[in-house]
Structure 1
Amino acid sequence: MWRHIASNAITFLVVLVFLLGGVVLWGQNEYTSEGPLTERICLQVKPGSNMRGVSRQLEDAGAISNGSIYRVGAEYSGKNSRLKAGSWLVPEGASMQEIVDIVTRGGASTCGTEVVYRIGVTRSEARVRELDPATDAYVERAEFDLAAEERPEIYAKVREEADTRYRIAIAEGVTSWQIVNALGQIDLLEGAADKLPPEGSLAPDSYEVSAGDTVAGVLERMDAEQDLRLAETWENRAEGIPLKDPYEALILASIIEKETGLPEERGQVASVFTNRLEQGMKLQTDPTVIYGVTEGKGVLGRGLRQSELRKRTDWNTYVIDGLPPTPIANPGRASLEAAVNPEDTDFIFFVADGTGGHAFARTLEEHNKNVAEWRKIEAERATE
Structure 2
Amino acid sequence: MWRSCFVQVTMREFLAVDAGGTSTRAVLIDETGSCRGAGRAAGGNPTSSGPARAADSVAAAIALALDSAAADPGRVAGVLIAHAGGHDDYEAGVRERLDRLGVGAPVTRAGDLLALFASGTAALEGAALISGTGAIGGAIRGGALERTVDGTGWLLGDSGSGFWIGHRVARAVVDDLDGGPRTALTAALLPLLDLDAEPDRAATEGRPAVLGALVRALYALRPVELSRFAPLAFAHPDDAVAAGIVREAVGALVALLDRVRAVQPDGPLVFGGSVLMEGVLRLPREQMAPLLAAAGDREPIPVADGLVGAAVLALRAAGVTVDDAVHARLSASVRAALVRAASVRAATAR
TM-score by length of structure 1 reads: 0.26
Q: Which has the higher strand share?
A: 2
Q: Which has the higher helix share?
A: 2
